[in-house]
């Protein structure tokens, strides 16, 4: 069986910084409330003209440049997003065109905050079996266009931000490789974190979208999501450890989905590790859903938190619920 490794990564966030104080001018909230509950200080919001595919394109361009490959080598594009430019087709088709790639397979997956790890796993399967040699994966969002920027939507509005991260995966010829991926879902509580429209359950919204307006913004039962997250993160990280017959001490860095600093603290506590071992950049970007893990991975690499030979674990939890982990030897 072949092995897969990440040969390049890149990210892109919009220039527009929105601080907690900026938000407190738009809705009834405060820096104290937001920071103490989530660890977030600021986030990026895409302007009206910037789309998810714009951020995805830029992140992909940077990842391809770092990978030092000819874009013609790319065999497949997988995009994780819940805020695609259009309801269909996906951002992946736009990237095929904008990056001027061959007519390769391109598809989007809707696994919310777990979408990047899901994409990584899909790419790993194709490369391991020899069905593909080089795959571009992306997590990208401009989800703040969907949120209600008022007191009514404040529980969601203060947490989320926009951005994109990408990675190029290729067949590995050395020790550096994806060691394992584990993917999970449980749909019974899907309404704890969801956006109902546009969907096909509700008839009539096309004719009178105003009546259904509130269904076009994400809704979250924050306490329940929090409770599940602090259980599922350690569970899926432990699954990776067990599968690879390694201990948490063997892991250099955990790069989790950036949902809430308090969730990361709780995960560190449950794993019995220092909070420092769980990478965090949520203070700068908030929760960027599918983009948060690749952005965090890029920054951890830039800060030399990961060296050749280190084992790292990516871990995700989000809407669905979906949750996932990937153990990687760098
Ligand atoms: O990407 C994965 C998905 N998302 C997550 O993982 C998020 C998981 N959940 C969380 O991170 C937390 O539950 C939150 C940060 C969303 C909320 O923190 P909390 O400690 O659960 O908040 P709380 O229940 O202590 O506070 C809720 C109160 C409510 O007021 P009452 O009913 O207690 O009077 C809300 O109306 O805080 C109020 N509230 C706010 N106040 C100021 C809700 N949002 C805000 C806000 N500013 N932005």
pLDDT tens per residue across span 243-274? 999 999 999 999 999 999 999 999 999 999 99
Q: Which residues contact 117 (CB under 8 A, 6 or more apart)?
A: 181, 183, 293, 314, 315, 316, 324, 325, 326
C-alpha distance across the termini of the chain, in Å: 19
Please determine, for residue 279, whether its predicted confidence score (pLDDT) is greater than 90: yes
User: What's the rounded mean pLDDT across residues 56-69?
Assistant: 98
Confidence of residue 213 (pLDDT cuts 50, 70, 90): confident
Please determine, for residue 212, whether its predicted confidence score (pLDDT) is greater than 80: no
Give residues (CB < 6 A) around ligand 1: 29, 33, 37-38, 113, 154-155, 158, 193, 222-223, 225-226, 229, 259-260, 263, 287, 318
User: What's the rounded mean pLDDT across residues 320-328?
Assistant: 98
Which of 113, 182, 192, 298 is flagged as catalytic? 113
Is-contact 300 253, C-beta < 8 A? yes
- Chain CA centroid to CA 249, Å: 25
pTM of the model: 0.97
Q: What is the pLDDT of residues 81-97, one digit of tens each?
A: 999 999 999 999 999 99
* Cβ atoms within 10 Å, residue 209: 13
Ligand 1 centroid from CA 44, angstroms:
20
Q: What is the 3-state secondary structure (H, E, C) of 192-215?
A: HEECCCCCCCCCCCCCCCCCCHHH
Please determine, for residue 211, whether its predicted confidence score (pLDDT) is greater than 90: no
Instruction: State which of 152, 158, 260 you would mutate to test the pocket of ligand 1, scoring each by most atoms of that ligand within 8 A of its C-beta.
Output: 260
Please determine, for residue 192, whether its predicted confidence score (pLDDT) is greater than 90: yes
Please determine, for residue 105, whether its predicted confidence score (pLDDT) is greater than 80: yes
Please determine, for residue 28, whether its predicted confidence score (pLDDT) is greater than 80: yes
Q: Which residue owns the Cα nearest ligand 1 atom 37? A: 155
């Amino acid at each position: 069986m072949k092995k897969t490794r990440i040969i390049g990564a890149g990210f892109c966030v919009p220039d527009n910084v929105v601080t907690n104080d900026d938000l407190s001018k738009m809705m009834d909230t405060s820096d104290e409330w937001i920071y103490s509950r989530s660890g977030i200080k600021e986030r990026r919001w895409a302007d009206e003209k910037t789309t998810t595919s714009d951020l995805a394109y830029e992140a992909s361009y940077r990842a391809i440049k770092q990978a030092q490959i000819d874009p013609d080598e790319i065999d497949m594009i997988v995009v994780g997003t819940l805020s695609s430019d259009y309801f269909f087709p996906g951002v992946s088709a736009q990237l095929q065109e904008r990056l001027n790639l061959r007519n390769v397979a391109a598809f989007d997956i809707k696994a919310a905050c777990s979408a990047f790890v899901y994409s990584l796993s899909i790419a790993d399967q194709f490369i391991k079996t020899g069905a593909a040699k080089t795959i571009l994966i992306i997590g990208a969002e401009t989800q703040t266009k969907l949120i209600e920027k008022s007191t009514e939507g404040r529980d969601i509005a203060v947490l989320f931000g926009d951005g994109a991260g990408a990675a190029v995966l290729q067949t590995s010829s050395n020790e550096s490789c994806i060691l394992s991926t584990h993917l999970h879902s449980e749909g019974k509580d899907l309404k704890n974190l969801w956006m109902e429209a546009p969907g096909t359950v509700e008839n009539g919204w096309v004719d009178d979208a105003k009546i259904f307006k509130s269904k076009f913004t994400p809704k979250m039962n924050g306490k329940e999501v929090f409770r599940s997250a602090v259980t599922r993160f350690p569970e899926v990280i432990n699954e990776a450890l067990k599968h690879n017959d390694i201990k948490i001490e063997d892991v250099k860095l955990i790069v989790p989905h950036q949902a809430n600093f308090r969730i990361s603290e709780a995960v560190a506590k449950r794993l019995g590790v220092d909070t420092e071992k769980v990478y965090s950049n949520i203070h700068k970007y908030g929760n960027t859903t599918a983009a948060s893990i690749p952005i965090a991975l890029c920054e951890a690499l830039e800060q030399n938190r990961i060296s050749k030979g280190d084992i790292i674990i990516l871990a995700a939890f989000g809407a669905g619920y979906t949750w996932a982990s990937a153990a990687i030897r760098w």
